[in-house]
Amino acid sequence: MGNVTYTAGILVSEAMALMGESAKFRNEYMEFAVSVANNLAADCFAVNNAVRQSKGKERLSEAPVLYGEGDAIPYEYETLKNIMVYGMAFWLLYQDGELTRASAQHDIYEENKARHMLAGYDGIGNIVG
């Protein structure tokens, strides 16, 4: 688990799989990938730190900034695979005007953020006490 280095490009590819989109549309979505990934990284910063703390790791001091689609996102696997991928799918669908499908992805994104934030802080309690 977590052996893949996640980048904006990988987030788009995985989001497209959730969206049921063909790989032939990847280049169209890549136009937005870095900007959306930066927004998601900022939005998921606190959640990622909660996950890190639950694993006994130090908190990151700031959200990463990506400059290209191949830049690594230094977040925990859970944050990337269970949260940010759904956020990427939401934004790509939203930009396509597919609001019903976008809403479903957004709901999963927000639910998983809340779940991992709570689990992260529960894990901290298990480490401390």
Tell me the C-alpha to C-alpha distance, in Å, between residue 37 and each of 2, 54, 55, 74, 117.
Answer: 18, 24, 24, 12, 19
- Tell me the CA distances in angstroms from 67 to 52, 57, 78, 80, one per residue in order: 24, 26, 23, 18
pTM: 0.88
Q: Which band of pLDDT confidence, cut at 50, 70 and 90, is reported for residue 126? A: very low
pLDDT of residue 4: 77
Residue 121 banded pLDDT, cuts 50, 70, 90: low
Instruction: Report residue 121 as tokens.
Output: 């802080």
- Band (pLDDT 50/70/90 cuts) for residue 2 is low
Mean pLDDT of all residues in 9-15: 96
Q: For the CA atoms of the chain, what is the radius of gyration?
A: 15
